[in-house]
Amino acid sequence: MLTPRQQLILSAIIEDYVRMAEPIGSRALAKHEEIQFSPATIRNEMADLEEMGYLTQPHASAGRVPSQKGYRFYVDNLLRLGQMDRETGEFLKSVFTKRMDEVEQVAREVANVLSMLTKQTAIVLGPKTDTEKLRKIELIPLGGGRAIAILVTNSGHVETVHVRFSSEMEADDVETLVRVLNDKVVGVPISELRRTLYSELSAELRRTVERFEDAIAVLNEVCHVPEREEAVYIGGASNMLAQPEFHDVGKAQPILSLLEQNDSISHWFPKAEDGIEVRIGAENAVVELQDCTVITTTYRLGGVPVGHIGVLGPTRMDYNRVMQILSFTSQALTDFLTRFASSG
């Protein structure tokens, strides 16, 4: 375990390094107000900290740089999440007072604001609409064996899905199908869609619809909706380039390229159910992120996690500030969605 003094020094090194982006020497540290000992003492402690793996030295006559283990210890034990500065709080609050009718717009806005405030790359996942209940289904035939199914949820979210079937359906059949669907399916959560449709509808439809197979085909494609990938919104990917660690294009390119593969993001994105998750360097599953930190958290609707927000940057990151901002934003977004859903 680290002595209080070692913890103090580790803290100071990390906080300085996050600001300066350059190795921190003993002399510089000694200038801190809260550090009352001489450079020599600091040097001794630094040597110990390095031996224990919390610090590294880029080369013999340079200052010290926090290792991943160092950051980890800092995040786990040293960080005291204080109050966020008023200004940022006010600003964040103001963002959610705008009129935003569509969830998509909200998510985009959050991604932008997060990236602005942190000067890093922000990622917003979701919200999942799985748990939302269906309000209405509409089926619009396009002719030529195609149709669009439109699903509206309680909160006013709209999903559309194109369906195909082998032949023309009779207008009567379509009407019947829509009526039956709406009878059975309104109030059912999207995630339950498949089960409900199969268990409750088959019999009914077989009786009432002439072209039974087509009706089933329609159902089948409608059932793809709950299996869709979560939507992904990215803000400030170019902020990556402003970080000194990515001044070398070769370092930055794989990461930006990773961010372009939208559908892979939800695979490596840490999705803790609760609280704030911090993945430092090699803790990330993906090779491209070995020198990055991803901090994420959840936002909720009706107490249930429905999506995630996160910030991506170099391991040299202002953990304190980013965690404060994420935590605040998550709460604000949760509140917003709650208002949104209840008024909708």
Partner DNA sequence: GTTAGCACTCCAGGCGCTCGAGTGCTAAAC
Partner DNA sequence: GTTTAGCACTCGAGCGCCTGGAGTGCTAAC
Using CB under 7 A, list all residues that contact DNA. Answer: 5, 23-28, 36-41, 43-44, 46-47, 50, 57, 59-64
The site map against its own copies for 10-29 (x = CB under 8 A) is --------------------
The binder of 81, among DNA, its own copies, none, by C-beta within 5 to 8 A per type, is none
Shortest spacing between CB 338 and its own copies, in angstroms: 14
* 200 three-state secondary structure: helix
Q: Which one of 20, 21, 40, 148 is in contact with its own copies (CB under 8 A)? A: 148
Query: Which tokens sit at 84?
Result: 């966020």
316: DSSP letter: S
- 217 makes contact with its own copies (CB under 8 A): no
Report d(CA 221, CA 160) in Å as an integer: 11
Q: How far is the CB of 27 from DNA (least distance, A)?
A: 5
Distances in Å between the Cα of 107 and the Cα atoms of 112, 277, 309, 326 are 9, 20, 9, 14
210 contact, one of DNA, its own copies, none, CB 5-8 Å limit per kind: none
Site for its own copies in 156-175 (CB under 8 A): 156, 158, 160, 162, 164
CB of 10 to its own copies, least distance (A): 31
The answer to whether residue 83 forms part of the interface with its own copies (CB under 8 A) is: no
- Residue 158 is inside which H or E element, if any? strand 158-164
State the CB neighbour count (10 A cutoff) for residue 216: 18
Site for its own copies in 300-329 (CB under 8 A): none
Q: Would you count residue 235 as binding its own copies (CB under 8 A)?
A: yes
Which residues lie below 8 Å from residue 333, measured CB to CB, with a gap of 6+? Answer: 96, 106, 110, 299, 309
Which positions from 247 to 266 touch its own copies by CB under 8 A, shown as an x/- string?
A: xxx--xx--xx-xx------
Cβ within 8 Å of residue 282, ≥6 positions away: 68, 290
Residue number, 50 or 168, with CB nearest to DNA: 50
Q: Is 237 in contact with 121 (CB distance < 8 Å)?
A: yes
CB 22 within 8 A of CB 63: yes
Minimum CB distance to DNA, residue 85 (Å): 29
Quote the CA–CA distance of 301 and 50 in Å, as a whole number: 45
178: Cβ contacts below 8 Å, ≥ 6 apart: 137, 138, 139
Minimum CB distance to DNA smaller for 49 or for 259: 49
Cβ distance 164 to 142 under 8 Å? no
Q: Does 237 bind its own copies (CB under 8 A)?
A: yes
Paired residues of 66 in beta bridges: 55
User: With CB cut-offs between 5 and 8 Å by kind, which of its own copies, DNA, none does residue 28 bind?
Assistant: DNA
Which residues here bind its own copies, judged by CB under 8 A? 101-102, 135-136, 138, 140, 142-144, 146, 148, 150, 152, 156, 158, 160, 162, 164, 235-238, 241-242, 246-249, 252-253, 256-257, 259-260, 343-344
